[in-house]
Amino acid sequence: MTMVVESENGLHVVGTTPTRPDGLDKVTGRATFADDIYLPRMLHGKVLRSPHAHAKIKAISTRKATALPGVHAVITATDFPEPATAIESLGEGGMVDIKDLADNCIAKKRVFYDGHAVAAVAADNPHIAEQAAGLITVDYEVLEAVMDVQSAMADTAPVIHENFTPGSFFAQTEKAGPNAGRLEFSGGDINKGFSDATVVVEREFITQTVHQGYIESHVTTVQWDNDDRITVWTSSQGHFGIRDQLAGILNIPMSNINVIPLEIGGAFGGKDSVYLDPLAAMLSKKSGRPVKMAMSRNEVLRATGPSSGTHMKVRMGANDNGILLAADISFAYEAGAFPGGPVAAGILTATTRYNIPNYRLEGFDVILNKPRVKPYRAPGATQSHFAVETVMDELAKKLRIDPIEFRLKNAMKTGDRLVLGFPCPAIGGIELLEAVKSHPHYRSPLDGEKRGRGVAYGFWYGGGGVSSAELSVNADGTVQVCTGSCDMSGTRMTLAMQAAEALGIAVSEVLVKTGDTQSIGYTLPAWGSRTTFATGIACITVAEKVITKMIERAAGIWAVDFENVTFNSGVFSDRNDSDHSFTFKELAAKHDSTGGAICAQATVSPQGVGFQLAAYLVDVEVDTSTGKVTILRSTLFQDVGKAVHPDYVSGQMQGGVVQGLGWALNEEYVYADDGTLSNTTFLDYRMPTALDSPMTETVILETPNPGHPYGVRGAGEVSIVNPPAAVANAIYDAVGIRMNALPMSPKAVLEKLLKHDAAEF
């Protein structure tokens, strides 16, 4: 059930809920996904992966594999050229080290994690390819595996990369210890802050590695032509990034590569990097045939990019009035086998929603023998919110202040600077927290044994950046808009709605297409909740260009000045002659006789995606005999600026909550002592199913984002950040134990309960 606080702004299309054009085809599988690609003479590729978490490769023999009938090509790292030296925009927000990326796709001298690709085979069918991969013999010298951040940061830890360039999303880091980079942001006087504080809470937290768990695995088909032109059909959330990374790894011109986007069966941040694509490309080059490769779930969990496990320390202090005075946090985030994890985003979102005059935010980007981490919905923030919002709850309890009141006292408001360093643009934090306070869920009593209520308040930046759109008007008045953004979350519709709004026509008249990298202007991946925002602005901009051209056509037909032609909600009129009037359709039909087709293009790079705020309210019941936590009631409050399609926004909010509950209660990578992953299927890696997922009520608030013509702010990510903390707070409210590790599985909860009971004697 969705509740929208409607804003009166004269929008005709934005804010409505038309049926998505591709829904039925997507759910019936009729839509074209990456695995639906078949090419003549196509081969199938398989990867040989490391069974060790950390080892030297002393020798590889591919002789037997190559000799197997039906095998057309076998490759190892030696088949690849030196990667191109990094250039601007390699597609992972520009932060990717192309050499690391190449090394991650196929191991050179060492394997850095269980599942690291070592060799690949292309054969007539997947079975022969798999058999051949099994015939490749690798001589390993097994090395000590480093499996958690504490041991990785120890001075005595084995050095994983002799010389690595410390880095992290959003920020560079300085080298700190054998396997870590460090960064810090601070302000005010941390010592004075704590000395003035009358209530201080200091806690440590642990979270485990978790995967985005997209249902569709990684699938790619690559054709390498005789003239070194490469066509790639692949499932990604950013096909320009895939192209740029491929160009770098294969060291060939970007223009030679055409990446054709396909429908996506989930991504959540995990599908903007190449894994199979360079292998399929090299196998295609070597065999002279197109090559298709698809990962099993085992490969997806072992060898693609999960989110970081962490070790987090939080110390926060407030005065008796419940005013926060100081925060000192030190977060160590897993980067996986190569530097570049989300720790900067983690510490920068840890306390940003509060005004805390004195703070020190320290982060460590820690290399260890796990797969290279990737963004996962509000990357880094879910971990940091688990820590900080639990401490906030404990502070509120100590201060005997209602947790919402406590957050209201300290909430960042429009214009506040502090951690941001610049005045916060229009933001609806206060309205959001007030909405929680006055909501029936918050006001209703919670009866029953072992039941508790928890709340958490969250923040996420979101992203803007480069998007392109091309718009063509057809003779029948219909319109197609081609953009560089794939549809991960219904954006095919939300972009059509924004174009239709600007053109003053019905959304059913607008077809939105995702163009391949040779057909459309550069567009950053669908990440940072940017597509509906930034690509939306590209669609509005190109629509306005088209309207300008059509006004010129109308002026020409009527032989009047451009200035005399007005355009209002789809109708072109002559100020001075009421007989002069065209609907959009009527004028479109005249294009041939007025100078030919009407088309326009726009490449924009808007910033100011608008910060995302959300509050999550949850009621739980704890089974003290098993430790099982059951969700009784779930409500998410979120400010989205303007909900272009409220149903989709609710879907994003509910999806984020379910994923957050997965982090909270079940999901974790379980590693054996030798550093190999033990739970490599969805039976063992326990994501919430429909049975585990409560109905989440969504409350959409709309504080317009000044950075978007219709007030849209990103809406896709912040929903995930609160559930772990809110559930932990609810568990405390229910049974009086403070959970300080994720997941809060029955086993973990039961252990805490037993310790707790013991302590009470």
> Which member of 415, 595, 678, 755 binds its own copies (CB under 8 A)?
595
Segment near its own copies (CB under 8 A); pick from 63-71, 130-138, 588-596, 638-646: 588-596
Segment near its own copies (CB under 8 A); pick from 59-67, 116-124, 199-207, 586-594: 586-594
- CB-based contacts of 517, cutoff 8 Å, min separation 6: 239, 240, 243, 257, 258, 259, 484
Residue 8 lies near its own copies (rule: CB under 8 A): no
Q: Which amino acid, 691?
A: L
φ and ψ of 686, to 5 deg = -95, 90
Contact characters 470-509, its own copies, x per CB under 8 A: x-x-xxx-xxx-x--------------------------x
The alpha carbon of residue 252 and the mean position of all alpha carbons in its chain are separated, in whole angstroms, by: 29
As measured in angstroms, the least distance from the Cβ of 491 to its own copies is 16
Segment near its own copies (CB under 8 A); pick from 52-60, 149-157, 311-319, 519-527: 519-527
Residue corresponding to tokens 């214009």: 415
CB 396, CB 454: distance < 8 Å: no
Residue 263 lies near its own copies (rule: CB under 8 A): no
**Rounded-to-integer distance, Cα 436 and Cα 443, Å:** 9
> Which member of 229, 439, 450, 628 binds its own copies (CB under 8 A)?
229
CB 571, CB 505: distance < 8 Å: no
Residue 357 lies near its own copies (rule: CB under 8 A): no
As measured in angstroms, the least distance from the Cβ of 171 to its own copies is 17
CA triple 758-751-728, angle to 5 deg: 105
Identify which of residues 329 and 520 has a Cβ nearer to its own copies in the complex: 520
As measured in angstroms, the least distance from the Cβ of 92 to its own copies is 13
φ and ψ of 215, to 5 deg = -70, -45
> Which member of 358, 517, 531, 624 binds its own copies (CB under 8 A)?
517
> Which member of 154, 159, 597, 672 binds its own copies (CB under 8 A)?
597
As measured in angstroms, the least distance from the Cβ of 490 to its own copies is 14
Residue 17 lies near its own copies (rule: CB under 8 A): no
Residue 39 lies near its own copies (rule: CB under 8 A): yes
Segment near its own copies (CB under 8 A); pick from 80-88, 103-111, 266-274, 557-565: 80-88
> Which member of 220, 256, 310, 705 binds its own copies (CB under 8 A)?
256
**Rounded-to-integer distance, Cα 388 and Cα 444, Å:** 26
| Burial letters 153-191, b for 16+ CB under 10 A, else e | beeebbebbeebebbbbbbebeebbbbbbbbebebbebe
Identify which of residues 31 and 430 has a Cβ nearer to its own copies in the complex: 31
**Rounded-to-integer distance, Cα 490 and Cα 492, Å:** 5
Identify which of residues 388 and 538 has a Cβ nearer to its own copies in the complex: 538
Segment near its own copies (CB under 8 A); pick from 173-181, 226-234, 267-275, 680-688: 226-234
**Rounded-to-integer distance, Cα 484 and Cα 522, Å:** 7
As measured in angstroms, the least distance from the Cβ of 470 to its own copies is 6
- CB-based contacts of 583, cutoff 8 Å, min separation 6: 477, 570, 571, 572
**Rounded-to-integer distance, Cα 400 and Cα 394, Å:** 10
E strands, 295-403, are 310-318, 324-336, 358-367
As measured in angstroms, the least distance from the Cβ of 285 to its own copies is 13
Quick one: which H or E segment has residue 655?
helix 646-665
Which residues contact its own copies by CB under 8 A?
Answer: 21-22, 24-25, 28, 30-32, 36, 38-40, 84, 87-90, 94, 225-227, 229, 244, 247, 253-256, 258, 465-466, 468, 470, 472, 474-476, 478-480, 482, 509-511, 513, 515-523, 589-593, 595-601, 603-605
